[in-house]
Structure 1
Amino acid sequence: MPSQGTIGDRVRGLRLSRRMSQAQLAGPDLSDSYVSLIESGKRTPTPVVARLLAERLGCTTEFLLHGIEPRQRIDTELGLRHAELELQHGDPSVAAERFGEIVKVAGEENAMLAAHARLGRARSLESQGKLGPAVEAFERLRREAAAHPERLADLPLTVALSRCYQRAGDTLRAHDLAAHALAQVNRLALTQGEIAVDLAASLVETESGRSPHSPGLAYVQRILSVNGVPAAVNRTAEIHSLWQASIAAAEGEDSALAVRLADDAIATGRPARMAFRLARIAMEWARLTAALGEQSLDEAGKLAASASEVFAKFPDRAYEHAKSLVVLAYVQLRSGDADKAAHLAQSALDALNNQASPVAATAHLVLAEVALARGEDNAAAILHSACQLLDALRPGLSAPDREVARVWRELGDLYGRVGAGEEQMSAYRRALETAGVRSAMVGVTVDSALVR
């Protein structure tokens, strides 16, 4: 059965295969000129007309409108849902493969499903850290959204691109895209839902170092005010149970039930996903505002503590939990409670088993600041431990990493406070290198603001 191209292509292909004229297809109900307009793509048949044409052409209405039969369509819809579950609760690389397979199955005959599958694949690439291919995929989708707004919305693609460019080190492009998205959500007065929260997550990164009163960070603050950091319940076992039940239903050829179960699994995981996103925003907001000293430290502490409570309930979020503990330790240190700061920093290191990471290195920086505040003489040794942890990360850094660069810069600041000038200069150079700036200016004083 011909399935290529548009609705008009399918009508014409089926008509010719049945050796019918346009007048014969039109019958007593339609005009042959109207059939001609449909075949040329100048008219789209109404549901009533589509049913009439499908009956005369000997096909289903679903095939005529979408290019695939109902069973094939529901199987494709099910494939999309299982790929989405793989992305959210399984292996992103497997999800990328499954989304890619759906693109091939859907083809251009079912442009809507194909577009959503390409979007899923782009998100899977981003989740794997393959930022270059992810950016290419999102850019293609954004061009498609401009040409076919009925298939994809531009706003979530703009937010995703801003996030990817920021993580890839192109901060100017990331900032421009975030500003464009911010103008759209302000026009819509949008402060709730996934798009608003995703934009706030992007803005808290792209606006880092700016005043909390900048438009971007003001929007972040509004999102936190409206949504808060909701408590999260660990329903991972329930999600996987529903997912497996959906797979079993599909194997039993009960596709409709399989889709329903997959939808239930996705919906069950949504509250925790939103809580994670808002917790990350709150954690970064607490760190930024505490560093800038332009917001109540009590408020920053509450945000960091709320984030920590969310991540603590999920064993697979141990790294983010440790990160939230370090942010909370940093806030406590700024509040003058050195003992609590030291306890929280040590708890973070215990959670990480002292494995090399930016978070572990930052925890050591907090401990070094505590030592300085207490007048102890072991601050230099603690900073040396942080330096070793950062050095251990070098082989794995294949692209600029602003988080690691920031920790190198903070290490340089603290080396300056203990009077280790040579180590301070080395740390600042490493900060520039890690941020993507290669400097041969040996012996030249580096302004630490450059890597903020």
Structure 2
Amino acid sequence: MPSQGTIGDRVRGLRLNRRMSQAQLAGPDLSDSYVSLIESGKRTPTPVVARLLAERLGCTTEFLLHGIEPRQRIDTELGLRHAELELQHGDPAVAADRFTEIVKAADEENAMLTAQARFGRARALEAQGRLGQAVEAFERLRREAAAHPERLADLPLTIALSRCYQRAGDRLRARDLAAHALEQAERLNVSEGEIAVDLATALVEARGENESDSPELAYVKKVLDTAGVSQVMDRSGEIRSLWEASVAAATGEDSALAVRLADDAIMAGRESRLALQLARAAMHWARMPAAPIEEAERLVSAATGVFAAFPSATGAYGESLVVHARVRLRAGDLTRAAELAGQALEPADERASGTTAAEARLVLATVALELEGSADSELATAQRLLSSLDRPVYGTDRQAARCWRELGDLYGRVGSVAQQTAAYRKALEAAGVRSAMAGVTADATASH
């Protein structure tokens, strides 16, 4: 049974296979000229007409409209769900392979399913840290979204691109894209739900360090105030159980039940994902020097509580403790700042992810200097930790630049001019866009 091409191609192919004329297919209900318009692609049959034509052509309405039989479609839907679960709760590399298989197997006419799979593959590439490939994939999808808005939504793609450029160290492009996404969101009045949370996180991560008042930050604050940063349970055990049950149902040929169980698993993880994203937005908000102390304290405390509930968020937990320590520094609470910085070093000490350990040491050095003690040991350790980041850890270029600059400031306070100059030089090097985006030539500016 032919499945390639458009709806019109399938109608014509099936009609010719059955040796029917256009007039015979039209019957008493339709005109042969209308059938001709459908076959030429100038008309799309309504659901009622599609059912009528399917009956006369001896196929299902699903096949006529989408080019696949119901069983094929449900199997593809199930494959998408299992790939999504792999992306969110398993191995992103495996998820990328599964999404790729779906893209290869899907018929060209099934644009919605194919687009979902390609979007999933792009996100899987991003999750692996393959940012150059992810950007190229997102850019292609974004161009197609402009041509086919009925198949692809531009807003999630723009947010994803902003996130990728931010993590690669290109903050200017990240901000341009995030600002463009904000225009769309405000035009549509999108301030709640997954897209709003993802956008708020992208906006606050791409903001300037000393910004305190902008439309972007106003949107972030609105999302944080509306959604709140609430405590949630780690439901990874429940998700894994539902996922395994879905796989078992699929093996037993019960595809409908398998889809339902996979949907339950995805929904069980959605609450956690949103909570973690909101916690990230709250943590970055609290990091701003201009954030009111009480508000920053409330938000970062809530964020730390969320991260603490998830074993997979150990890195973010340590980062939030350092942010909290800096809030206490601003409040003049040196004892509490030192306690929090010490806690950030406890889980893995100097093996903490990214710049967290170095930042904790810088906080301890600042406390020592404020108390008129010696900070030499903490400064030397921070310098060694930062030097070990010989190549940017995923998403740490900007943090590294900030840490080197702070290290230079502290060396200046103790009168070590040579080390101060060397630290500032390192800050300038780290502030440049590194090799994570090498080879990417796609224009990621918000040009439309």
TM range (shorter): over 0.9
Distance 2:151 2:32 in 1: 30
| Cα separation, partners in 2 of 1:437 and 1:35, compared to 1, 3 Å | closer
One-letter code aligned to 2:144: E
One-letter code aligned to 1:360: A
Secondary structure class of the residue paired with 1:108: coil
Distance 1:96 1:170 in 2: 25
Which residue is equivalent to 1:30?
30
Which residue is equivalent to 2:54?
54
Whether 1:374 and 2:374 are equivalent positions in the alignment is no
Distance 1:398 1:240 in 2: 27
One-letter code aligned to 1:402: R
One-letter code aligned to 2:251: E
Whether 1:263 and 2:273 are equivalent positions in the alignment is no
Whether 1:209 and 2:206 are equivalent positions in the alignment is no
Distance 2:43 2:94 in 1: 40
Whether 1:344 and 2:340 are equivalent positions in the alignment is yes
Distance 1:59 1:398 in 2: 51
**1:343-398, CA deviations, whole angstroms, 9 ceiling, x for partnerless residues?**
11111101123216301100000000010011112x12211101111111114659
Distance 1:262 1:171 in 2: 37
Q: CA deviation at 1:125?
A: 0.7
Which residue is equivalent to 1:413?
409
| Cα separation, partners in 2 of 1:424 and 1:208, compared to 1, 3 Å | same
* Mapped contact 2:325–2:363 kept (Cα < 8 A): yes
Q: CA deviation at 1:259?
A: 0.2
Which residue is equivalent to 2:152?
152
Which residue is equivalent to 1:445?
none
Q: CA deviation at 1:400?
A: 7.9
Whether 1:17 and 2:13 are equivalent positions in the alignment is no
Which residue is equivalent to 1:274?
274
Whether 1:221 and 2:221 are equivalent positions in the alignment is yes
**1:116-159, CA deviations, whole angstroms, 9 ceiling, x for partnerless residues?**
10000111111111111111111111111111111111111111
Whether 1:88 and 2:84 are equivalent positions in the alignment is no
Which residue is equivalent to 2:382?
386
Distance 1:146 1:8 in 2: 24
* Mapped contact 1:400–1:434 kept (Cα < 8 A): no
One-letter code aligned to 2:216: G
Which residue is equivalent to 1:359?
356
| Cα separation, partners in 2 of 1:211 and 1:395, compared to 1, 3 Å | closer
Q: CA deviation at 1:211?
A: 2.3
Whether 1:320 and 2:316 are equivalent positions in the alignment is yes
Distance 2:261 2:199 in 1: 30
Which residue is equivalent to 2:107?
107
**1:179-202, CA deviations, whole angstroms, 9 ceiling, x for partnerless residues?**
111112222222111111111111
Q: CA deviation at 1:426?
A: 1.0
Q: CA deviation at 1:170?
A: 2.5
One-letter code aligned to 2:365: A
* Mapped contact 1:322–1:352 kept (Cα < 8 A): no
Which residue is equivalent to 2:5?
5
- Where do 5+ consecutive residues of structure 1 fail to align? 439-452
| Cα separation, partners in 2 of 1:397 and 1:305, compared to 1, 3 Å | closer
* Mapped contact 1:400–1:435 kept (Cα < 8 A): no
Identify the match of residue 397 of structure 2 among 388, 397, 401: 401
Which residue is equivalent to 1:197?
197
**1:325-356, CA deviations, whole angstroms, 9 ceiling, x for partnerless residues?**
11111111111111111111111101123216
One-letter code aligned to 2:129: G
Secondary structure class of the residue paired with 2:2: coil
Q: CA deviation at 1:287?
A: 0.7
**1:25-82, CA deviations, whole angstroms, 9 ceiling, x for partnerless residues?**
1122211100110011111111111111111111111100000000000000000000
Which residue is equivalent to 2:439?
none
> Cα RMSD between the aligned structures?
1.5
4+ residue segments displaced more than 3 Å:
395-400
Deviates more, 1:401-410 or 1:40-49: 401-410
Distance 1:296 1:172 in 2: 26
| Cα separation, partners in 2 of 1:180 and 1:268, compared to 1, 3 Å | same
Query: Looking at both structures, which has the greater relative contact order when contacts are Cα pairs under 8 Å and sequence separation is at least 6?
Result: 2
One-letter code aligned to 2:271: P
Distance 1:187 1:316 in 2: 36
Q: CA deviation at 1:416?
A: 1.2
- Where do 5+ consecutive residues of structure 2 fail to align? 435-448
State the TM-score, normalizing by the size of structure 1: 0.93
Identify the match of residue 291 of structure 2 among 290, 295, 299: 295
Q: Identity over the aligned pairs, expressed in percent?
A: 68
Secondary structure class of the residue paired with 2:234: coil
Q: CA deviation at 1:437?
A: 7.0
Which residue is equivalent to 2:183?
183
Distance 2:109 2:291 in 1: 54
Q: CA deviation at 1:99?
A: 0.6
One-letter code aligned to 1:345: A
**1:294-351, CA deviations, whole angstroms, 9 ceiling, x for partnerless residues?**
3321211111110000011111211111111111111111111111111111111011
One-letter code aligned to 2:272: A
Deviates more, 1:324-333 or 1:403-412: 403-412
One-letter code aligned to 1:429: R
Q: CA deviation at 1:402?
A: 1.4
| Cα separation, partners in 2 of 1:178 and 1:249, compared to 1, 3 Å | same
One-letter code aligned to 2:92: P
Q: CA deviation at 1:174?
A: 1.6
Distance 1:299 1:191 in 2: 20
| Cα separation, partners in 2 of 1:71 and 1:108, compared to 1, 3 Å | same
* Mapped contact 2:411–2:419 kept (Cα < 8 A): yes
One-letter code aligned to 1:373: E
Which residue is equivalent to 2:440?
none
Which residue is equivalent to 2:427?
431
